[in-house]
Amino acid sequence: MLDAKAKSTDILWHDSQVNRARREDLLNQRGGTIWLTGLPSSGKSTTAYGLESELFTRGFAAYVLDGDNVRHGLNKDLGFSARDRAENIRRIAETAKLFADAGIIVITSFISPYRVERDFARRIHLEAGFNFSEIYIDTPLEVCEQRDPKGLYKKVRRGELQGFTGIDDPYEPPFAPELVCRTAEFSPGEIVSRILGFMTEAGFFLRGDRYSRSFAGK
Amino acid sequence: MLDAKAKSTDILWHDSQVNRARREDLLNQRGGTIWLTGLPSSGKSTTAYGLESELFTRGFAAYVLDGDNVRHGLNKDLGFSARDRAENIRRIAETAKLFADAGIIVITSFISPYRVERDFARRIHLEAGFNFSEIYIDTPLEVCEQRDPKGLYKKVRRGELQGFTGIDDPYEPPFAPELVCRTAEFSPGEIVSRILGFMTEAGFFLRGDRYSRSFAGK
């Protein structure tokens, strides 16, 4: 019966699921997470989007998870209580892990002030065999407050915002991040360049750039 | 100061974020969601993993979201109350949208029994301009119950399981799915072939197969 219905365009059936080797073979990269952490206005977004752009230029598939795409969708049921903030980071960590499993390089751009939450993200990635690199965007509070692109520090100083990380809410710097980036001393381009170098050594990239473009120019 | 520190390996800095065109150019595909829906044991998983495998064979990046990778991670805080089931599907829809935004073809494999929830998934995708295709895995209840690979129907019939979709919990078939697949009449290979044909017409694939492999053999 089934054979009689089969058409010439019918596929050859493969029972095997797509494993990590097949994903790596297609995408030329290892899935994994670049977890940025740092104070408000420390330069996480600039770094995240700059890195994503440079990865694409080199033929690697990357994606930024940040407040813009997570808070308005997946986590829009969450507020800013301690419990909701923890759940926010937990879901981001689990979502990043799904992207890593799909073979994508995911860049998370959240303050993520607590070590215990970042350690949870690291643990679930490493247990599943995915790359995980914590990158500390280490910008002095004074510099962050000078930049203040959204005017949040000003609001805090005027008493209009409470529970602000770095002022009246704690930020716990990483004990042993894979990389520390000082945005007060280096340009965004220099920082992205440094992260790309680190990622090369950490084994995110397989068989070089897909388009054979060099880091120096194209 | 900054110039003096710059190295020859420093990247050329691009300010632009990665837009949809760049993702499509890299991945040769349009990000979007293939949303499978159907009774327990209707053949959703077989279809999902078969489709994922065939997509990879053709050079397209896909990922299956299902109970295995979602319930044990992102949604492991959720139980099976009506409220938790709704939140389960809401988060899956939002996560699928993130994957679509990343340019990935995501295949969701959940019973997803309620029209209102599937319509939510559709709406958030279409509003953002992503592909969304609802595929009804239309297998008669008797066939599902005969297959019963996990012995769940047997448990229900012995009274050991309550609130089981299709028996004592409702399943709302789609009114207007993009595609209906009858697994009682066609083989898994035929069904995946049909979905691939549909996806070709729906514009998921750009500039043909990356590896120029034909559907008929390789």
Confidence category of residue B4, pLDDT binned at 50, 70, 90: very low
Tell me the chain A residues in contact with residue B52 when contact means C-beta distances shorter than 8 Å.
17-18
Q: Could you tell me if residue A208 is inside a domain?
A: no
Model confidence over B149-179: pLDDT tens digits? 999 999 999 999 998 999 999 999 999 999 9
- B102: CATH: 3.40.50.300
Average pLDDT, chain B: 88
What pLDDT band is residue B19 in, cutting at 50, 70 and 90?
Answer: confident
Q: Is the pLDDT of residue B5 over 90?
A: no
Instruction: State the sign of the Cα–Cα–Cα–Cα dihedral A49, A50, A51, A57.
Output: positive
In a domain, B117, yes or no: yes
B71: in domain: yes
Q: Is residue A8 part of a domain?
A: no
Under 8 Å between Cβ of A124 and B73: yes
Q: Residue B6 domain-assigned? A: no
Q: Which pLDDT does position B142 carry in this prediction?
A: 97
Tell whether B111 is covered by a domain.
Answer: yes
A69, A98, A215 ranked by CB distance to B11: nearest: A215
CA distance A44 to chain B (A): 14
Domain count of chain A? 1
Residue A158 Cα, gap to closest chain B Cα (Å): 33
What are residue B165's DSSP bridge partners? B169
A16, A112, A193, A214: the catalytic one is: A112
The two three-digit tokens of residue A84, written as one number: 């909701």
pLDDT at B3 over 60: no
> Which residue in chain B has the smallest CA separation from A63?
B102
**DSSP-derived secondary structure letter, A176:** S
Low-confidence ranges of chain A (pLDDT < 70): 1-16, 208-218
| DSSP strand pairing (A32-37 vs B179-181) | unpaired
Cβ-defined contacts of B138-143 (< 8 Å, 24+): B138/B38, B138/B42, B138/B173, B138/B180, B138/B181, B138/B182, B138/B183, B139/B38, B139/B39, B139/B41, B139/B42, B139/B43, B139/B182, B139/B183, B139/B184, B140/B184, B141/B39, B141/B166, B143/B183, B143/B184
Torsion sign across C-alpha atoms A211, A212, A217, B5: positive
Looking at residue B20, its pLDDT comes to: 86
Cβ of A63 within 8 Å of Cβ of B101? The answer is: yes
What share of chain B has pLDDT > 70, as a percent? 87
Question: Can you give the residue range of the structural domain that contains B56?
Answer: 20-141+172-202
For the segment B174-193, what is each residue's pLDDT rounded down to a tens digit?
999 999 999 999 999 999 99
User: From the CA of B179, how many Å to the nearest CA of chain A?
Assistant: 17
Across the A/B interface, how many CB contacts are shorter than 8 Å?
154
Domain presence at residue B127: yes
Sheet of B179-181: strand order equals B62-66, B105-109, B32-37, B131-137, B179-181
Tell me if A159 is assigned to some domain. yes
Q: How far is B207 from A81, CA to CA, in rounded Å? A: 48
How many helices and strands, by DSSP H and E, does chain B display? Answer: 9, 5
Note the pLDDT tens digit of each residue in B81-129. 889 999 999 999 999 999 999 999 999 999 999 999 999 999 999 999 9
Interval B63-92: pLDDT, tens: 999 988 998 899 999 988 889 999 999 999
Residue A136, SS3? strand
Helix or strand or coil: residue B13? coil
Q: Distance from first CA to last CA of chain A, Å, rounded?
A: 57
H helices of B82-187, in order, are 82-101, 115-127, 141-147, 152-157
CA distance A146 to A92: 29
What ipTM was predicted for this assembly?
A: 0.88
